[in-house]
């Protein structure tokens, strides 16, 4: 019988092998992360931002669809800029009611557009499309812009998640440098790093944080679709319990709360990276359904690449390998199940398992 670690390593091996051939959950009932000592003042300040939902999505034609809900606000004015810290108010690009969906077009080319939503009552909120729209790394996206259960918002431009960085173009690298990415956590094995070395923006520091704790990903022979699903579930549990995984994620979350933008990635940006993102967002107090949606979004961002991989396989094998290319609610749920079984609460996992102070994370990465 193979061990959970062996199954995790083997599943990662096949996922990586399939990925590089491509061209170009209700979470279980865990005790929520504890509130900050200054909970009263935090909740008071949270009310200053009246938005309960807000998104910006760039469309294929370059326009943006903005949606928001701000109970208590009668109207919202939208301004656009390329620096989230200094969005100019020279001219509004859109206006709407307290709850609205609008389209903004004609902005022109930029590394990234930010939209400041200014309500007639309460403090403004800056939103942006989370995707960086990098053809060379389709799962590259911002972990900011999510609302927490207590009404605060995860800051944009502080933590990014991605898939393989070896195919980044010079233009991509220049964009990442201008976005201020200074530390890159590589969650892959040494063999993966050697086979597909990262291309990093100038001035960025690389940190090897091998989640698997092995030199290579090994090999994996899929015998049935259910066997593949079982391997992914076992792997997710191991990403909580393995010493190498706890060391890697502890280092990552500790750095995420520091200065400068942090990027972390694996090969497909969905399993090792997916648990890292879920752990960080949960530590920040983002609701479980939002954490799950961010995790499952890899299926959307990687849809074209995954379809290309499956198209290269004989039809009889596609059903066998699809579970390794997907992310599924039961995979993520297995990770939270393991947290509950080993630590009881998520805060205990953060503290005893990862050595992370969640209060520091929240102070650094939340607005409102």
Domain segments of the chain as ranges: 4-49+130-367, 51-122
Query: Over the stretch 66-85, which tens digit does the pLDDT of each residue have?
Result: 999 999 899 999 999 999 99
Say yes or no to pLDDT of 98 above 70. yes
Say yes or no to pLDDT of 45 above 60. no
Tokens of 25: 């959950």
pLDDT number for residue 139? 97
Q: Which CATH architecture has domain 4-49+130-367?
A: Alpha-Beta Complex (3.90)
Q: Count CB-CB contacts under 10 A for residue 247.
A: 16
Tokens of 6: 């062996």
| Angle, helix 303-311 to helix 315-325, in steps of 10 degrees | 150
Alpha helices in the chain (DSSP H): 4-20, 39-46, 170-178, 190-195, 225-241, 243-256, 272-283, 288-301, 303-311, 315-325, 329-343, 346-348, 358-365
Say yes or no to pLDDT of 182 above 70. yes
Q: State the Cα–Cα distance between residues 98 and 119, nearest whole angstrom.
A: 8
Residue 186 has, within 13 A of its CA and on its CB side, a CA count of: 20
Name the catalytic one among 266, 309, 358, 366: 266
Query: Over the stretch 184-230, which tens digit does the pLDDT of each residue have?
Result: 999 999 999 999 999 999 999 999 999 999 887 666 677 899 999 99
| Residue with the two structure tokens 């690298």 | 173
- Whether residue 132 lies in the annotated active site: no
Q: Considering the entire predicted model, what is its pTM?
A: 0.89
Q: State the Cα–Cα distance between residues 363 and 158, nearest whole angstrom.
A: 13
pLDDT number for residue 24? 33
Q: State the Cα–Cα distance between residues 86 and 224, nearest whole angstrom.
A: 54
Query: Are the CB atoms for 37 and 43 separated by under 8 Å?
Result: no
Query: Over the stretch 111-170, which tens digit does the pLDDT of each residue have?
Result: 999 999 999 999 999 999 999 999 999 999 999 999 999 999 999 999 999 999 999 999
Please give the CATH topology (third level) of the domain spanning 51-122.
Immunoglobulin-like (2.60.40)
């Amino acid at each position: 019988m193979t061990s959970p670690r062996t199954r995790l390593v083997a599943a990662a091996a096949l996922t990586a092998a399939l990925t590089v051939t491509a061209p170009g959950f209700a979470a279980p009932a865990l005790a929520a992360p504890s509130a900050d000592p200054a909970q009263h003042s935090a909740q008071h300040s949270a009310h200053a931002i009246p938005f309960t939902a807000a998104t910006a999505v760039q469309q294929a034609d370059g326009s943006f669809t903005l949606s928001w809900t701000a109970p208590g606000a009668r109207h919202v004015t939208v301004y656009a800029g390329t620096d989230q810290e200094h969005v100019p108010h020279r001219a509004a690009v859109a206006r709407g009611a307290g709850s609205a969906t609008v389209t903004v077009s004609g902005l022109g080319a930029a590394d990234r557009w930010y939209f400041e939503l200014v309500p007639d009552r309460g403090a403004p909120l800056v939103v942006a499309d989370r995707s960086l729209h990098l053809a060379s790394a389709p799962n590259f996206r911002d972990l900011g812009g999510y609302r927490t259960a207590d009404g605060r918002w995860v800051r944009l431009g502080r933590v990014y998640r991605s898939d393989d960085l070896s195919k980044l173009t010079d233009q991509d690298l220049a964009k990442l440098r201008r976005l201020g990415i200074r530390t890159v956590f590589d969650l892959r094995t040494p063999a993966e790093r050697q086979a597909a070395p990262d291309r990093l923006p100038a001035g960025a520091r690389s940190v090897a944080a091998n989640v698997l704790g092995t030199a290579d990903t090994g090999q994996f022979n899929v015998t049935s679709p259910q066997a593949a699903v079982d391997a992914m579930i076992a792997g997710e549990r191991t990403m909580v319990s393995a010493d190498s995984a706890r060391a890697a994620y502890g280092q990552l979350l500790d750095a995420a709360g520091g200065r400068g933008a942090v990027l972390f990635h694996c090969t497909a940006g969905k399993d090792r990276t997916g648990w890292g993102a879920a752990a960080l967002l949960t530590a920040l107090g983002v609701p479980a359904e939002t954490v799950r949606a961010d995790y499952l979004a890899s299926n959307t961002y990687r849809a074209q690449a995954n379809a290309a991989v499956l198209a290269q396989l004989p039809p009889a094998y596609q059903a066998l390998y699809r579970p390794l290319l997907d992310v599924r609610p039961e995979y993520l749920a297995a990770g939270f199940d393991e947290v509950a079984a080993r630590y009881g609460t998520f805060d205990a996992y953060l503290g005893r398992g990862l050595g992370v102070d969640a209060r520091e994370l929240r102070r650094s990465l939340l607005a409102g």
